[in-house]
Amino acid sequence: MQTKQVKHFISLITLIAALGGFLFGFDMAVVSGIIEPVRAQYGLSAAEEGLFVSFALLGCIVGVAFSGYLADKIGRKKVLFVAASLFLVSAVGFSLSGTYVILIVFRILAGVGVGVASNVSPLYISEIAPADKRGGLVTFYQLAITIGVLAAYTSNMFLQRHAAAHQEVGDGLFHWLFEQQVWRGMFFVSVIPASLFCVLLTIVPESPRWLAGNGRNQEALEILEKISGEETARSELEAIKQVASQKSGGLKELTRFPFRGLLVMTMTLTALSQFSGINGVIFYGPTILKSAGIVTSDALLYQVILGTASMLFTLIAIWKVDTWGRRSLYLVGSFWAAIALALTGLCFMYGVNGWGMLLCIILFLLFFAFSLGPLKFVIATEVFPMHIRGRALSICIMTMWVSDWIVNLLFPIMRDDLGIANTFFVFSFFCICSYLYARKNLFETKGKRLEEIEQLLTTSKAHNHVES
């Protein structure tokens, strides 16, 4: 197969797998347009508001908990289809729910789908990507998340404006979803990408590394020929088989050298990245912008601006992660994200509203988008061996969702009790912690095949570096 055909094939299956990231971003961000009408309709307190948002994150934790085991047991592709099905069912169910309890049930189900996709989509992409392009392709998953976030913001804005312009009495399902109770229609929109994800997954191959690790060598070779070219497919297959034959599977291995240190490192970096408050900004965007002096009617428009900035800034990571490397981008991004969050807090403290406030938040999104955001996925998919990669990644992603659950549960309370300025100072502090920890513990993996990284990490030299 010619190189051009190989590139096209890899691009196609990466795009399809990244739809999991798109739905991840859409389902998480669409809540920003739903919170206020749901709070008004059901009379929620600040604590209940935090619980409403956090229920989805609890679903994410459940999804991650079983997806890693299933991905290692039955394969990456089948578990991606589970995620796609959950997205579709929850989108329909949430939109048509008649009671608050049923609403919560489908919100949790949506969270389970997000949790599964957040674990298995980047895992799958990392295992089909060439070594010299892996960082960029896994980062593309983060780009898909930001596109999903932007799509949710844009959809929310247009649907809200459509509903405001059509207040006349009507009947039928369309009127009820998109005009009378428009917040339901905001969520129903995700039926389109969820259906597309289900259909397109039928043409995606299984991970060749999972196939080879389970003795299905001929199938693995056929897929490797498509993603690596016929000249290198056999040698790559032999390297995968050699690594797989040297290890015995089992979650218990994560507690042994050198993987214990790696697990602690990836979990710590993941937790600190979420304690930066990124999902607080995403979920409570209109509330934050309203606090910044931007009138409610313009809040969703400004949120679209923030979503666009986040999406564009992620392109920096795709562009530079395989040349500048993971460590350099992470250190620069985490340090300046802390500065941007501190400036945002100062804006709230001294009443600098409007565009000054918006600029500080955009600066935070800039530095988060090429460092703390995508690199946790890249790092976690690279440093663990194939036979425990799914379960190791699931632990890291579960750490992400537990951290998100804590942030989103506490954000309304922190906002009301500590004040919005101090809340941003707390987020800035965690970015500084992330910078200091990464400076001491994070090592470089750019340009190496997954099997090369695994072999490197079993040497005493790597052990000293990881544990230092």
Domain ranges of the chain: 3-204+246-467
pLDDT at 460 over 50: no
Q: pLDDT category, 209, cuts 50, 70, 90?
A: confident
Q: What number is the average pLDDT over the span 154-174?
A: 76
245 Cβ partners below 8 Å, 6+ apart? none
Angle at 417 between CA 413 and CA 423, to 5 degrees: 75
Distance CA 350, CA 356 (A): 11
Q: Is 463 exposed, middle or buried (0-12, 13-18, 19+ CB in 10 A)?
A: middle
pLDDT of residue 465: 46
The one-character DSSP state at 169 is: -
Task: Please tell me the pTM assigned to this model.
Answer: 0.75
Distance CA 129, CA 232 (A): 14
pLDDT of residue 80: 92
90-146 pLDDT, tens digit each? 999 988 887 777 888 888 998 899 889 888 888 888 888 776 777 677 777 878 888
38-80 pLDDT, tens digit each? 888 877 777 777 677 778 878 888 888 888 788 888 888 999 9
Distance CA 47, CA 192 (A): 33
User: What percent of the chain lies above the pLDDT cut of 90?
Assistant: 13
Helix axis angle, 259-274 relative to 420-441, nearest 10°? 160
Mean pLDDT for the chain? 79
pLDDT at 160 over 50: yes
CATH T-level assignment (fold) for domain 3-204+246-467: Growth Hormone; Chain: A; (1.20.1250)
Distance CA 249, CA 224 (A): 23
pLDDT at 247 over 60: no
